[in-house]
Amino acid sequence: MPKAKKHITVTAETGQQFYQEFQGKGKVVMLNLLNFKAKADYTDNENMKPENNITGAEAYKLYMKHTQPCIRKAGSKLLFSGTSNSFLIGPKSEKWDMMLLVEHASVEKFMEFAMDKEYLKTAGHRTAALEDSRLLPIAELKQSGS
């Protein structure tokens, strides 16, 4: 049976599509669905590997500790973080360890955050932490009469 494809990083194609679709449209909220590795894997980021082995969830906590100031610096904000065991409506086979909602004032502000040098210095904790993820940009619906 073929191994299911994992999704950890943005591709050039999806990044370009996101930018074109959301440019000039105002606020964008990012829905993050996260699955953690049992043991964080720092193979590609040996320079930031903790002294002792840690779990993927612990590596993600390190990522968030360093990332939240960068989110605030870009004028963005963490709206929500939480956990759940299963969907009320959705496939029973799909489970996520953690969910986040992060609001950015615009696609440009998101890009400012994503390219921030301080953010990039410690983004390897995210890669080390994640077994799989989804990142869904959401545009606010404009209500008629607004």
Range list of H helices, 55-139: 56-73, 107-114, 117-122, 124-129
Render pLDDT for 60-106 as a digit per residue (tens, 0 to 9): 999 999 999 999 999 999 999 999 988 899 999 889 999 999 999 99
| 3-state SS, residue 96 | coil
What is the pLDDT confidence band of residue 121, given thresholds at 50, 70 and 90? very high
CB-based burial label for 68 (10 Å; 0-12, 13-18, 19+) = middle
* Arithmetic mean of pLDDT, 50-65: 97
Ordered structural domains, the chain, with CATH: 26-139 (3.30.70.100)
Global pTM value? 0.90
Weakest-pLDDT range from 23-27, 66-70, 96-100, 141-145: 141-145
